[in-house]
Structure formats: structure tokens, C-alpha cells
């Protein structure tokens, strides 16, 4: 396939949509909205500043530390025009974690939102590579000495820097943010391949006409960056962000802007389902009976009649909400079926950061809510005959892990097949992919966040009081997060530490749990262990001293009963 030049693509998008809203977000002062023309101008203004004023060399790194907002898009496009590699950062990470990432990739420029400016200043003192900080909003009195997107020179002309298709466009850190950061290199070819694949797939998913999209995932999430940003803008859609993930704030935006579609994660859909059911349970007995009756007969009705049947629910979503793509974690089929039954289409997708990231999405005439759909057009997919592991090959597969050829060789074999670590079944007739388990130790939380046990273990092992540490996911079997994984840590204290408590096990457990919580402050909140199990016997290991995680999981399950 011949890929379009990324600059001509950006120019075409801007010209075709010009005065149409591209990105918008509501603040306490009202709506902050960029037209496609305005987004293009701000992107060019930033690129000119990077090239002409700061004279940042082609290929250098530009990191972004911010929550999602319209200015984020201008920063990404500005970096592309200036010929730089963009490093989107998770703004929920701690200074300790961010320092590790930034020391690994060494960006010259750090673009930062006002909410994260103090973090940025501290990071600049710790990472010598950061020469420039640019504020993404207008400068306030306390930050008057820091340039902002709106205070840099109003220059819009420069010689844009073209880079080859195999050059790294984005560096996405998925794990190892403590000790050994692991950055996924996504090239321009990877990104463009995804956009073309998704352009075809979305024809089977979205209705025709004007589309207004809601974005609730962070922009550092590759799923949001590739699909919810680049792909949707490529279609000329209008994308809106929310200041918070509170259901009320989300519903307000959906109602006011008549949102039609969104990218989301299973945890949000489960929360929404619970909220709808809770509202119904507050109604009269007759209303509850009518809902149950309508829910039963809806399975026999076309979607347009389901929308009429559940009109009151649809009105709360703005009246025009069509559906969403769910990804990042497995979707409970009962949740998907619930929304489909009330007239909201749910398309489950599957992907990895290493595949830029979307691999498959439910679409077409043959769909199964338990499946993640068939692979996108450019992918080859198969399963290992011995292990059942899903293997993938295609132009969207990453370039590799930044500065980690050893890790790259572990996941991409000599024939170019990416070993996903996920166990899958591919239906020979429909080509639908069913993800049935994981080979990797990765923990997938309810919101789709992916946590790697080794990352947390490397932090906890810094305690001289801990002889052994093992972290893994433990499934809940109750409440709203039923079936979701939580982080559990098994700690074996050192003999010397045990002796300090004179065989008082209760005091020992309290002390260890407090130390785990103290060390966990170096990790983002979602990575901190929820369950802490203290064990005085050695953990089971293989002859090569590797932890027998299956046996340890049994111990965890017994302790959690």
C-alpha cells in the first residue's frame, strides 16, 4: 500500500472541514472550542516556535504532561510538523515514575497543562535533557516567566520537516516505569496503517452524516490517540472532552452537544448499567414491571424500535447517542447485551500498544458480543498450535521497544510475528477472534489500566525488611467490580525483621502493610496493592528460582476467603 504523506493528510483535513468544530471542552467560563482551521493555526504556531525560535533539531523528543483538552491536539500536530517524536505521559504517575521515563527518553521540550506545572518544574531539575517547558494554557501571574502556547510568537510559516515512514512518531510507555522503562515505538507507517484500516472498519459501524464524539479516555492512552483523535479527525468529526468522569458531567456534555458516539472502557459501561438499573429500582412497581417486559420483547425488535421503547433513557444521553467502541479490557457480555437490548450499539474491540493499538473490532453482518470481532484488514492473525497464543503480523506492529532490542526480540520473532501473550480462539468460518486468557502476568484493572507485577515488585523489593515479594491480580467475586482484577501483594518478611516483633504476628502484619503503603506512594494510585498478604514461609519457586505464580495464586485465594 502507498501511504499518504502525513503533511498533505493534515492539510486536507483542515481544508475540507475549515470552520467546523474539531475539538471542544467545557470549562467554568464556558465552551473552549477549536475549529479545524483554528487547530491548524495553533499547531503551526507551535511548530514554528520549535523550529525557528528554540531551534530544536529534527528527531528530538517532545513530551506532553496533561489531561485531555483541545490544546493537546495542537501539541501533537505541532510536534509532527516540527519533525519531533511525541512522548505522551500519564499525568497520574508520580514524580518518581515520570523521572524514570523521562531519563530514558530524554525529551528536549516538555509541554504541560497548568494543573501539572509544579510537577514539570520539579522534573526539569531532575532530568537535565529538558531544556524548555511550555504551558498549554495562557500564563498566569505565578507562571509569567514560562512561555505558553498563547504567548509564543504569532508566526505560522516554516519549512515543515518531513520524516520517513519508518521514523518513530510516538513513544508510548506501557510499563517498567520504575527501574527499566519500556517504551513502544510507533512509526508514521504504523499510525497511517491504523487510520486506513479503521476508516474501512468504521464504515461498517458508524451511521453516515455529521458525527459528534465524546472522549473520556486520557490522550496518553494509545487507543484514544489513534482512534479517538487521529481517526475521528480524519473523518471530520467533532470531538468533545469532559473535565471529570462523573456521570453527571458526562451526561451534561452528551445532552448539550447531542453526542452520537464514544470510545470507552468496560468499567464505565458497567457503572452506567448499574446507574440505569438503580434509577429503575427507585420507580414504582408498575414501572419496574413495564421495564422488564419491554426488555424481554426488545430482543425481537430492530434497533430503531428499541430506541423508541426506551426513549426516556435515550433522552438522558441527549437523544442522539448511537453507541460506542469498548476496549482496553474484556467486556462482560451481559453488559454488552444490556445496552444492545435498550438500543445502544456496543462494539467490543481488542488491541495492544505494540499493534498501534487496534487489532480487531466487532463489525459486519456476523457479530458476537463475546468476541472481539475479526482482525482489521492489514493484519494476519493466527494462534500457536501448542500454546494457543495469539500471533499477529502486519504494518501496524510496532518498530520495537525503545533502547530494548532484547525485549523486542522476545515478542517479535524472525518471521515478523508479534507474540501477544494472550490466549485466543479464531473461528475458522467467521474469522471472529475470542480472547480466552493471558499468558503474560499482566493485570488488567476494571478501567482498562494495565499493570505489570514486575514493576510493582521492583519498588517493594527495595525494602530491606522484605525477603520475598510477589504481586499478581486477584479477581473479585462480589460488588460492581465482580470478575475484575485487583492488585494483590504477597510479602515474606526477613528473619531479622520478624525477630523485632517477638513473634507478635499481628504487629508484624501491621508494620509490613504500612511499609507497603509507604513504598507504594512511588507508584500511581491505580498501581498500589489493594490486598496485602503476609506470609512467613518461603514462596514456592522453580529450580531456576522463578516464582511459581500459579501456586502462589492458590495461596492468595485461600487467604482471601
- pLDDT tens, residue by residue, 197-218: 999 999 999 998 889 999 998 8
What is the distance between the terminal CA atoms of the chain, rounded to a whole angstrom? 55
Cβ contact 360:324 at 8 Å:
no
Tens digits of residue pLDDT in 8-55: 778 888 889 999 999 999 887 889 999 999 999 999 999 999 999 999
Residue 376 confidence class, pLDDT cut points 50, 70, 90: very high
- Which of the four pLDDT bands, split at 50, 70 and 90, describes residue 528? very high
Q: What is the CA radius of gyration of the chain?
A: 25
Q: List Cα–Cα distances, 496 to 360, 459, 508, 514, 535, in angstroms.
A: 52, 20, 12, 18, 15
The Cα–Cα gap between 393 and 223 comes to 19
Q: Tell me the percentage of the chain whose pLDDT exceeds 70.
A: 95
Which residues have a Cβ under 8 Å from the Cβ of 520 and sit 6 or more positions away? 456, 459, 460, 527, 528, 529
pLDDT-derived band at 248, boundaries 50, 70, 90: confident
Average pLDDT, the chain: 90
Backbone angles phi, psi at 558, to 5 degrees: -65, -40
Measured distance CA(184)–CA(352) in Å, rounded? 10
pLDDT of res. 432: 97
- pLDDT-derived band of residue 464, with 50, 70 and 90 as boundaries? confident
pLDDT, residue 478, reads: 57
Q: Give the residue-averaged pLDDT of 157-182.
A: 83
Q: What are the residue ranges of CATH 3.40.50.12780 in the chain?
A: 238-397+405-438
| Cα–Cα distance measured from residue 85 to residue 169, given in angstroms and rounded to the nearest whole number | 5
Q: Give the pLDDT band (50/70/90) at residue 95.
A: very high
In this predicted structure, what is the pLDDT of residue 450? 76
> Where residue 177 falls among pLDDT bands split at 50, 70, 90?
very low
Taking the C-alpha atoms of residue 92 and residue 218, their distance in angstroms, rounded to an integer, is 10
Mean pLDDT highest for which of 131-135, 176-180, 485-489?
Answer: 131-135
Range with the poorest average pLDDT among 246-260, 364-378, 538-552: 538-552
What pTM, to 2 d.p., does this model score? 0.84
Closest CA to 493 of 461, 447, 521, 517: 461
106-110, 269-273, 451-455, 469-473 — most confident range: 106-110
**What's the pLDDT tens digit per position in 293-334?**
999 999 999 999 999 999 999 999 999 999 999 988 788 888
Work out the percent of the chain whose per-residue pLDDT is above 90: 66
Cβ distance 32 to 24 under 8 Å?
yes
- C-alpha distances in Å from residue 405, one per residue of 99, 182, 185, 301, 402: 22, 11, 12, 54, 8
| φ and ψ at residue 225, rounded to 5 degrees | -65, -45
Identify the CATH number of the domain defined by range 6-163: 3.40.50.980
3-state secondary structure of 33: strand
pLDDT of residue 501: 86
pLDDT at 178: 46
Q: Which residues contact 361 (CB under 8 A, 6 or more apart)?
A: 201, 205, 325, 327, 347, 348, 349, 350, 372, 373, 376
Task: Return residue ranges of the chain for CATH 3.40.50.980.
Answer: 6-163
Residues 6+ apart with CB under 8 A from 501: 507, 508, 511
Average pLDDT over residues 180-187: 91
104 phi and psi, to 5 degrees?
A: -80, -45
Q: Does the pLDDT of residue 85 top 50, yes or no?
A: yes
Q: Dihedral sign for Cα 458, 460, 463, 469, please.
A: negative
Select 238-397+405-438's CATH number: 3.40.50.12780, 3.40.50.300, 3.60.15.10, 1.20.1530.20. Answer: 3.40.50.12780
Enumerate the CATH 3.30.300.30 domain ranges in the chain, comma separated: 443-560
Q: Distance (Å, rounded) from C-alpha 358 to C-alpha 381? A: 13
Assign residue 235 a region (left: φ > 0; alpha: ψ between -120 and 50; beta: otherwise): alpha
Q: How high is the pLDDT of residue 480?
A: 57
Checking 405-413 for CB contacts under 8 A at 24+ apart, the result is 407/182, 411/354
Q: Report the range of poorest mean pLDDT among 83-92, 305-314, 542-551.
A: 542-551
CATH architecture of 443-560: 2-Layer Sandwich (3.30)
Per-residue pLDDT, averaged over 122-134, amounts to: 97
Q: What stretch of H or E contains 134?
A: strand 132-135
Banded pLDDT at 126 (limits 50, 70, 90): very high
CB 432, CB 426: distance < 8 Å: yes
DSSP for 347-383 reads EEEEE-GGGSSEEEE--SSS--TTS--SBPTT-EEEE
Count H helices and E strands in the chain, helices first: 19, 24
Confidence at residue 2, expressed as pLDDT on a 0 to 100 scale:
61
Amino acid at each position: 500500500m502507498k501511504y499518504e504523506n502525513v503533511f498533505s493528510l493534515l492539510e486536507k483535513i483542515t481544508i475540507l472541514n475549515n470552520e467546523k468544530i474539531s475539538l471542544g471542552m467545557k470549562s467554568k467560563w464556558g465552551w473552549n472550542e477549536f475549529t479545524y482551521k483554528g487547530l491548524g493555526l495553533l499547531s503551526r504556531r507551535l511548530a514554528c516556535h520549535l523550529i525557528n525560535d528554540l531551534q530544536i533539531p529534527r528527531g528530538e523528543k517532545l513530551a506532553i504532561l496533561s489531561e485531555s483538552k483541545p490544546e493537546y491536539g495542537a501539541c501533537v500536530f505541532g510536534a509532527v510538523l516540527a519533525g519531533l517524536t511525541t512522548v505522551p505521559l500519564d499525568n497520574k504517575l508520580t514524580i518518581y515514575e515520570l523521572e524514570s521515563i523521562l531519563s530514558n527518553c530524554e525529551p528536549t521540550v516538555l509541554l504541560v497543562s497548568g494543573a501539572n506545572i509544579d510537577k514539570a518544574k520539579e522534573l526539569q531539575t531532575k532530568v537535565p535533557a529538558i531544556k524548555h517547558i511550555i504551558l498549554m494554557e495562557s500564563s498566569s501571574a505565578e507562571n509569567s516567566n514560562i512561555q505558553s502556547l498563547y504567548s509564543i510568537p504569532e508566526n505560522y510559516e516554516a519549512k515543515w520537516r518531513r520524516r520517513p515512514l519508518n521514523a518513530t512518531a510516538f513513544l508510548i510507555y506501557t510499563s517498567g516505569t520504575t527501574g527499566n522503562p519500556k517504551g513502544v515505538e510507533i512509526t508514521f507507517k504504523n499510525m497511517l496503517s491504523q487510520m486506513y484500516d479503521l476508516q474501512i472498519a468504521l464504515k461498517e459501524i458508524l451511521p453516515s452524516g455529521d458525527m459528534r464524539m465524546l472522549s473520556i479516555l486520557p490522550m496518553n492512552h494509545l487507543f484514544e490517540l489513534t482512534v479517538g483523535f487521529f481517526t475521528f479527525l480524519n473523518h471530520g468529526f467533532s470531538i468533545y472532552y469532559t473535565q471529570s468522569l462523573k456521570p453527571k458531567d458526562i451526561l451534561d456534555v452528551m445532552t448539550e452537544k447531542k453526542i452520537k458516539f464514544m470510545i470507552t472502557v468496560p468499567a464505565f459501561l458497567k457503572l452506567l448499567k448499574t446507574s440505569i438499573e438503580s434509577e429503575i429500582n427507585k420507580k414504582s412497581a408498575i414501572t419496574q414491571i413495564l421495564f422488564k417486559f419491554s426488555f424481554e420483547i426488545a430482543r425481537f425488535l430492530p434497533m430503531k424500535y428499541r430506541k423508541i421503547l426506551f426513549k426516556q433513557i435515550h433522552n438522558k444521553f441527549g437523544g442522539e447517542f448511537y453507541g460506542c467502541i469498548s476496549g482496553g479490557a474484556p467486556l462482560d457480555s451481559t453488559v454488552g447485551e444490556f445496552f444492545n437490548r435498550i438500543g445502544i450499539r456496543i462494539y467490543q474491540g481488542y488491541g495492544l500498544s505494540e499493534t498501534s493499538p487496534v487489532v480487531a473490532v466487532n463489525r459486519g453482518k456476523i457479530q458476537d458480543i463475546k468476541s472481539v470481532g475479526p482482525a482489521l484488514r492489514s493484519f494476519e492473525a493466527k494462534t500457536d498450535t501448542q500454546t494457543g497464543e495469539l500471533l499477529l503480523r502486519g504494518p501496524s506492529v510496532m518498530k520495537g521497544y525503545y533502547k530494548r532490542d532484547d525485549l523486542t526480540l522476545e515478542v517479535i520473532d524472525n518471521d515478523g510475528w508479534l507474540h501477544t501473550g494472550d490466549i485466543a480462539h479464531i473461528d475458522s468460518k467467521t474469522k471472529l477472534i475470542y480472547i480466552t486468557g493471558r499468558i503474560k502476568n499482566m493485570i488488567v484493572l476494571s478501567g482498562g489500566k494495565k499493570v505489570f507485577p514486575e514493576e510493582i515488585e521492583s519498588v517493594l523489593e527495595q525494602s530491606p525488611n522484605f525477603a520475598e515479594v510477589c504481586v499478581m491480580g486477584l479477581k473479585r467475586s462480589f460488588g460492581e467490580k465482580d470478575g475484575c482484577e485487583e492488585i494483590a501483594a504477597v510479602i515474606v518478611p526477613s528473619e531479622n525483621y520478624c525477630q523485632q516483633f517477638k513473634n507478635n504476628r499481628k504487629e508484624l502484619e501491621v508494620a509490613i502493610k504500612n511499609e507497603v503503603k509507604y513504598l507504594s506512594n512511588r507508584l500511581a494510585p491505580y498501581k498500589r496493592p489493594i490486598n496485602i498478604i503476609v506470609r512467613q514461609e518461603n514462596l514456592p519457586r522453580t529450580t531456576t528460582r522463578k516464582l511459581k505464580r500459579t501456586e502462589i495464586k492458590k495461596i492468595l485465594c485461600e487467604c482471601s476467603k
